[in-house]
Structure 1
Amino acid sequence: MNSVLPVRDLSLTSHILHALNEASIIAITDNKGTITFVNDMFCKISKYDRNELLGQNHRMLKSSYHSSDFFVHLWRTISRGKVWRGEVKNKAKDGSFYWVHTTIVPFLDSRGKPYQYVSIRTDITERKCTEELLKRSLDQLANSNRKLLDHHHTPSQTTIHDDLGQSIDESMAAYPEIRQLMTQFNEMNIRINQARKRIEHQAYHDALTGLPNRYHIEEYLKRSIEYAKVNNSSLTLLYLDLDRFKLVNDLLGHQVGDLLLKEVAEKLSQTICENGMIGRQGGDEFLIVLEDMNEEEVRAIAGRILDCLSYPFVYAGKEFFISPSIGISMFPKDGNDIESMMKNADTAMYMAKERGKNNFQFYSSEPSSLLSRRHLLENKLRTALKNKEFILNYQPQVHLNSHELRGFEALIRWNNPELGLISPEEFIPIAEETGIITDIGTWVLKETCRQNKAWQEQGFVRVPVSINVSSQQFRDPEFVWNVLNVLKESKLHPQYLEIELTESTTHHFVHTVEKLQLIKQYGIKVAIDDFGTGYSSLSALDQLPIDILKIDRSFIKHILTNPNKAAIAKTIIDLGHNLDFKIIAEGIEESSQADFLNEHQCHIGQGFLFHPPLNPTDVARHYQHLFNEIPFFN
């Protein structure tokens, strides 16, 4: 809830507050009755804007239906710190009237005096209107009965009952609207009961998946722990997190992410069945509570979960794979309360991620060096940019037939004063999971453009330098303008900058094409990196406004020993030529690999055969002969 004025902690969980806010009309006042908060439902029913209500009191809603004694009793009750419940008729801004069932809860300070009141209301206008119509109709029925009885002589007791039944039937026939009103009244009661059930379900279940929500599953876990304590029985908590789910949202959008979460929930439900309770903790996290199972049985359940989520998810004709990391804590050895069991299952889940994801781990009280390092890297990564700990090295790209320089790829390195050099393979995934990757990508862009421009001003041959752009950075609506601003600030011509995207980044096809077309308009070249390792649609490849395909190093490594790898590499080369793309082979370490690629018309390569990544000083030293030469670039 968005409170305009400060409101003290209500000592309720956020889950209860959320459920109440969605299902009820809520207002908060100070101890003098001045309104400090109203939710959207309050504004809707009263027809006042929020700014018209804040700072006022409830007298502005007075309908003059209730006596002054009614409100005296109300205030006497709540001022004594007691809860008041009742039905109130209020007047809306447009002059219409509405009824609410109201519960007013006083919140007390350390002296036991109320400092604020929280009012929770439910709209009962329809019910009250129906009750009034029914009351009037019953009054008409009673009058009709009396008139009919006046026409009869004084009867015996038996005759009275017969005549009364006949008179009621005659009255119902005489007043068919009564029967209609009674039918409407019954239907309204049914709707009220259905609405009540819906509200109760919404309060305890996740709106997207239909699973028990965090509040529900945690309450269930608390009760299960108490039961296990009394009955000396076992209890297990599984904490499940979907690996790289954020990437799915970034690449395909939240709508697809929601569909995937619903399918995961359905698969989990089918797998667990009656063996336990499943709940959605939030985001891409799920909790599973298992009762009366030993460790072997828990292992079997966790294994079945891994199996059920190993099958691909299909969307728009494409297959996507998602895997879970599962942490497991068991009562009582891993905790005897909900806080310790949740904390230890969460710790075990991170252990599963550190051990390669797509596995489960039982909690261990012994310290984990892997987990400690992951947390250490995450903490230090947050200050690495500020502390200027990142450096860029530049790996040459050469023409395979002449070994002449064609350009560079900028490669980031992290040199922490305490931990030393840290591999990108280790810190990039953490940067992606934490969202820091976008800031790092912006730094790489600025530093690359600055360095290339500095080389040019020193008389170095003008060649392009490519940078790797993460999917998160590319999906930023301001990405293109950020690139253009950096080029303008550095005064680097756009033809000397290339951006490299992975295949997965191009899944958002329409937006990708539009953004790439805009980039191309300004003369910036685009490469698809690690081509052949992702899920590119070949039918869409010719529609992508790109310039370069880079063959992944995994194909180059075995190109001479594995016929399948060689066939794939040759296919990529032929495909690139047919679509008028330049082809760059990465990871060339042997001259025989370079000869094979050159023979099959791949004319550009990079790898340790030519040179490892160089720092800017080494670039100038190694390519000193290219300073003050006539620029070449293709």
Structure 2
Amino acid sequence: MNGRIFTDYQMFSHVLRNIFPMMVVNSKKEIQYVNELYCQFFRYNPAELIGEHISKVRYISSIFQTCIIEDISETEGKYLERNVEWLDKEGNVLNLPTVVTGMYNPKEKEMFYFIIVKAGEQADGKKFTLNHFHFLHSLEQAVNETNAVVVTDIDGNILFVNKRYCELYDYKFDEVIGKNPNVVNSGFQDRAFYKEMWETILQGKIWSGELRNRAKDGSIHWVQSTTVPILDDSGRPIMFIAIQTDITDRIHFERSLQKKIHEEFKKTVRNLYNIVFKYREVDGEIKFTLLEGRMAKRMKLSLDNISMEYLKTVYSKEQYERIEYHLRYALKGKLTNFEIEAFKRTILVYLAPIFEDGEVVEVVGTIIDITNRKRAEDIARKMAYFDFLTQLPNRRYLQEKAEEFIFEHEINQKSFAVMFIDIDRFKNINDSMGHSAGDQLLVQLSKRLQSAIRKEDFIARHGGDEFVVLINNVDEKETHHYAGKIVKELKKPFNYRNLEIFVRPSVGISMFPRDGIDFDSLLGSADIAMYKNKKQMNSDYQFFTETLRQNILERTLLEMDLQQAVEREQLELYYQPKIDLRTREITGVEALVRWRHPVRGYISPGVFIPLAEETGTIVQIGDWVMRRACEQLKEWLHQGYPPISMAINISTAQFNHPMFDQKVKQVLDEVGLDPKYINLELTESMMLDKERSEEMFHKLRRLGVSISIDDFGTGYSSLSYLSNFPITHLKIDKSFIRDFNKSNKAIIETIISLAKALDMKVVAEGVELKQHERFLVQSYCDEAQGYFYAKPMPARDIEKWFAVNQSDLKENDQLNNVH
């Protein structure tokens, strides 16, 4: 039937039970099973959900909306992934990526639905993508008939075993889940053997070897085991998949052969499935003396037709020479084995010499069909070396390929390029259009990149929306050509559901050996160049230079110093007066933060404020500015200075705190300052999330503080928020004052008229000339600030300015004549 066929859905849930919230629903849409993570995430007890209809936890916004079960039915029970709105116990609606797949229980003759909610990371921080789910299923199908499969977590606890594993070791599924693989340890291999194995797989490398295991009934089984680590995005193992082939017959035969070297054993080997053969050297020629086994009959081989001449007709010259090499190597008294393709199968050949009086008299060989095992190993290797989504090589493969490039180009004294590509604002696509759109875009991007490079070049997905291209045997001049070609391809529109999506790639390039002689250095240099390209929008790509490295180093050092600037009391507040254009009185000051570095001296806010916003330090700095400004104003009022307002700039990161209003109230309460003296300067961008920002604006106004929209006219200017938000002041951006042309004058007049109509006050920033002031007075602007009145000053200087300039401003006859 269509869909995935499962005989016991609880069995496979062991693999994912500690990874994602999960439930099982029957065809009546009744919940049959939920795991512990589901209950924790959605705040339910299992008893509250078992037997309930899925509508209890599935948010349905309209009668026309289908249940996700109908949607999977339309896909004929195949794998389906999309965002689904779920309800937690509190009634909150959570929009989360969800996977559904059909499964069939033959005992109950009923279809069930396996639902997995991709709710972020595991509790221990290890990532596990649901693409692994597909590969585990494919892996089980590839090996289920002849090979045992066991999946363990990083600590060695068994998460999953297949049917063949249970048959081989005589255990039931539930008897081994959660146990350590040493449940089948026979004690034959010592601790050093297993230590070496674990050291290998914990380094992310594949381990292969022979194990002597003990079944539940005490019987011994020899297996050829291959263990593949499954890595997360950072390259660390998160689980291990072991594929085991039973080689007990072969081991028993080889051992019994040594004991009965002179006995005739045709009758023994004839009924074996694997091929057993013997050969010896006669007059320099290899002559086969025995060929038995059921597999030989299937391949239509017999002692009558097998010969070296026959092998020449079956294999290519290169393959034949390889076979002959191993056959003669064993005749020299050496154990050997090799793999080769034969009759559309993959076979493994073991050769063991037989001695008499210290001389090789004959060689015995076994041939094992390992086709299924090789298929399984191919799938496992694909999981280890390729990205699941784009099918491009992953970071591990990139590392190995880059080392090959370095070795070859160093020997030949050639150069090659490392191109680091990052897609700007990719997160916006995921957030606005869903993760399926982002995934489709990444798939299309990978195909574009593959079409833009040559066969000798190499491309890999480094992680997320990052790609790395190795351009073979090129100098910098030639790299310009290939880089331009790649960027041109990526700038073409991508299609998603008949929508055109445009992206901008940021591209950084480093050259071997100029910018590094090892891969980490080359990638780091390309990353630095990419970051520079992301900041400068006027170029398609950026080559690495030592100047860029120095700038990054200085920026990193500055970032480290900035994080400690508050504790080391290196920050200081300056204050710029605001003047009432009608009365000529000082109405308030704006608090502006300054940083005096002990070594670098004065650092411009234009340098450290953007850095603080990028690193998150702006919240700490903003909180310090608010408290210090309130304390200073309180001190001035206590000293008898006229009551004025204190304008404080608020960063987006501060405003986005869900308890921002309470943080403001806490500062005012602790300082003992009346909120009416505080004016919070916010930006238009903070109102993009209308519902949340409008609520916060009202909370702040209820505290009693006033609110200004800073830099008005340069951002998200909308009449709707002006009428709906409790705004008290508009600050005209200084760019309109600085470029004092006819158009900007009209904009200034429009802003003033709009503010008056909405009962708001208007403050003009950047007033530097008398003509600026005269125009603002004639246009009925309320307040102004700028170098025409005073530069920003420290508290001690502005106190002197209060005394000297208050009277001078009132006695300005020219200004009064304007009124």
Same fold (TM over 0.5): yes
Give 1:459 shift.
Answer: 1.9
1:564-585 CA-partner distances (Å, limit 9, x unpaired): 3223333333333333332221
Per the alignment, residue 434 of structure 1 pairs with 615
Q: Determine the C-alpha separation between the residues in 2 that align with 1:89 and 1:537.
A: 74
Specify which of 595, 599, 602 is matched with residue 781 of structure 2.
602
Give 1:70 shift.
Answer: 9.1
Tell me, yes or no, if the aligned pair for 1:344 and 1:363 is still in contact at 8 Å: yes
Distance 1:614 1:578, change over 3 A: same
Q: Say whether 1:393 aligns with 2:574.
A: yes
Q: Say whether 1:239 aligns with 2:410.
A: no
Per the alignment, residue 570 of structure 1 pairs with 749
Give 1:329 shift.
Answer: 0.7
Distance 1:118 1:549, change over 3 A: closer
Tell me, yes or no, if the aligned pair for 2:529 and 2:548 is still in contact at 8 Å: no
Q: Which amino acid letter does the alignment assign opposite residue 591 of structure 1?
A: K
Q: SS in structure 2 opposite 1:413?
A: strand
Q: Determine the C-alpha separation between the residues in 1 that align with 2:588 and 2:689.
A: 29
Give 1:394 shift.
Answer: 1.0
Specify which of 482, 496, 502 is matched with residue 677 of structure 2.
496
Tell me, yes or no, if the aligned pair for 1:351 and 1:371 is still in contact at 8 Å: no
Q: Determine the C-alpha separation between the residues in 2 that align with 1:298 and 1:225.
A: 17
Distance 1:19 1:221, change over 3 A: farther
Q: SS in structure 1 opposite 2:793?
A: coil
Q: Which amino acid letter does the alignment assign opposite residue 622 of structure 1?
A: W
Per the alignment, residue 240 of structure 2 pairs with 120
Q: SS in structure 2 opposite 1:542?
A: helix
Per the alignment, residue 40 of structure 2 pairs with none
**Structure having the larger proportion of residues in strand:** 2
Distance 1:623 1:499, change over 3 A: same
Q: Which amino acid letter does the alignment assign opposite residue 588 of structure 1?
A: V
1:527-558 CA-partner distances (Å, limit 9, x unpaired): 22212222344444433332222221111101
Specify which of 152, 177, 198 is matched with residue 26 of structure 1.
152
Q: Say whether 1:205 aligns with 2:331.
A: no
Per the alignment, residue 170 of structure 1 pairs with none
Q: Determine the C-alpha separation between the residues in 2 that align with 1:63 and 1:198.
A: 22
Q: Which amino acid letter does the alignment assign opposite residue 385 of structure 1?
A: V
Q: Say whether 1:425 aligns with 2:425.
A: no
1:583-608 CA-partner distances (Å, limit 9, x unpaired): 22111111111222222232221111
Gaps of 5+ in 2: 1-17, 20-123, 137-150, 164-170, 198-208, 217-223, 230-236, 245-370, 807-819
Distance 1:86 1:73, change over 3 A: closer
Q: Determine the C-alpha separation between the residues in 2 that align with 1:256 and 1:483.
A: 36
Q: Determine the C-alpha separation between the residues in 1 that align with 2:549 and 2:637.
A: 49
1:245-270 CA-partner distances (Å, limit 9, x unpaired): 59x87xx9956797779758856864
1:256-287 CA-partner distances (Å, limit 9, x unpaired): 79777975885686477332655554466543
Per the alignment, residue 769 of structure 2 pairs with 590
Q: SS in structure 2 opposite 1:289?
A: strand
Distance 1:27 1:242, change over 3 A: closer
1:495-542 CA-partner distances (Å, limit 9, x unpaired): 222222222232222222222222222122222221222234444443
Tell me, yes or no, if the aligned pair for 2:186 and 2:213 is still in contact at 8 Å: no
1:262-315 CA-partner distances (Å, limit 9, x unpaired): 758856864773326555544665433333444234334545677788899999
1:143-185 CA-partner distances (Å, limit 9, x unpaired): xxxxxxxxxxxxxxxxxxxxxxxxxxxxxxxxxxxxxxxxxxx
Q: Say whether 1:76 aligns with 2:189.
A: yes
Superposition pairs of residues 188-337 of structure 1, within 5 angstroms: 200=382, 204-205=386-387, 213-229=394-410, 233-240=414-421, 270=448, 273-275=451-453, 279-282=460-463, 285-303=466-484, 325-337=506-518
Q: Say whether 1:524 aligns with 2:705.
A: yes
Tell me, yes or no, if the aligned pair for 1:104 and 1:119 is still in contact at 8 Å: no
Give 1:451 shift.
Answer: 1.2
Q: SS in structure 1 opposite 2:564?
A: helix
Per the alignment, residue 652 of structure 2 pairs with 471
Q: Determine the C-alpha separation between the residues in 1 that align with 2:710 and 2:635.
A: 26
RMSD of aligned residue pairs (Cα, Å) = 5.0
Q: Say whether 1:408 aligns with 2:615.
A: no
Distance 1:301 1:613, change over 3 A: farther
Per the alignment, residue 487 of structure 1 pairs with 668
**Structure having the larger proportion of residues in helix:** 1
Give 1:395 shift.
Answer: 1.1
Relative contact order: is structure 1 or structure 2 higher (C-alpha 8 Å, sep ≥ 6)?
Answer: 1
Distance 1:434 1:466, change over 3 A: same
Structure (1 or 2) with the larger CA radius of gyration: 2
1:54-102 CA-partner distances (Å, limit 9, x unpaired): xxxx9996479xxxx9935366376633656699999xxxxxxxxxx98
Tell me, yes or no, if the aligned pair for 1:441 and 1:473 is still in contact at 8 Å: yes
Distance 1:331 1:385, change over 3 A: same
Distance 1:72 1:507, change over 3 A: closer
Tell me, yes or no, if the aligned pair for 1:499 and 1:526 is still in contact at 8 Å: yes
Q: Which amino acid letter does the alignment assign opposite residue 373 of structure 1?
A: E
Tell me, yes or no, if the aligned pair for 2:211 and 2:225 is still in contact at 8 Å: yes
Q: Percent identity?
A: 33
Tell me, yes or no, if the aligned pair for 2:767 and 2:773 is still in contact at 8 Å: yes
Q: SS in structure 2 opposite 1:527?
A: strand
Bigger mean CA offset, 585-594 vs 533-542: 533-542
Distance 1:580 1:269, change over 3 A: farther
Give 1:236 shift.
Answer: 1.1
Q: SS in structure 2 opposite 1:583?
A: strand
Distance 1:240 1:397, change over 3 A: farther
Bigger mean CA offset, 475-484 vs 536-545: 536-545
Q: Determine the C-alpha separation between the residues in 1 that align with 2:583 and 2:214.
A: 90
Bigger mean CA offset, 377-386 vs 415-424: 377-386
Superposition pairs of residues 60-71 of structure 1, within 5 angstroms: 62=175, 71=184
Q: Say whether 1:620 aligns with 2:799.
A: yes
Tell me, yes or no, if the aligned pair for 1:354 and 1:370 is still in contact at 8 Å: no
Q: Determine the C-alpha separation between the residues in 2 that align with 1:261 and 1:501.
A: 36
Q: SS in structure 2 opposite 1:395?
A: strand
Q: Determine the C-alpha separation between the residues in 2 that align with 1:257 and 1:498.
A: 39
Q: Determine the C-alpha separation between the residues in 2 that align with 1:568 and 1:320.
A: 34
Tell me, yes or no, if the aligned pair for 2:385 and 2:393 is still in contact at 8 Å: no
Q: SS in structure 2 opposite 1:609?
A: coil
Q: Determine the C-alpha separation between the residues in 2 that align with 1:321 and 1:575.
A: 37
Q: SS in structure 2 opposite 1:238?
A: strand
Give 1:404 shift.
Answer: 1.7
Q: Say whether 1:580 aligns with 2:785.
A: no
Q: SS in structure 2 opposite 1:80?
A: helix
1:208-254 CA-partner distances (Å, limit 9, x unpaired): x77654334444433443454466654211234567x59x87xx995
Tell me, yes or no, if the aligned pair for 1:85 and 1:104 is still in contact at 8 Å: no
Tell me, yes or no, if the aligned pair for 2:687 and 2:721 is still in contact at 8 Å: no
1:350-393 CA-partner distances (Å, limit 9, x unpaired): 55568788664322346866444323322221221111100011
Q: Determine the C-alpha separation between the residues in 2 that align with 1:229 and 1:500.
A: 59
Q: SS in structure 2 opposite 1:333?
A: coil
Q: Which amino acid letter does the alignment assign opposite residue 585 of structure 1?
A: A
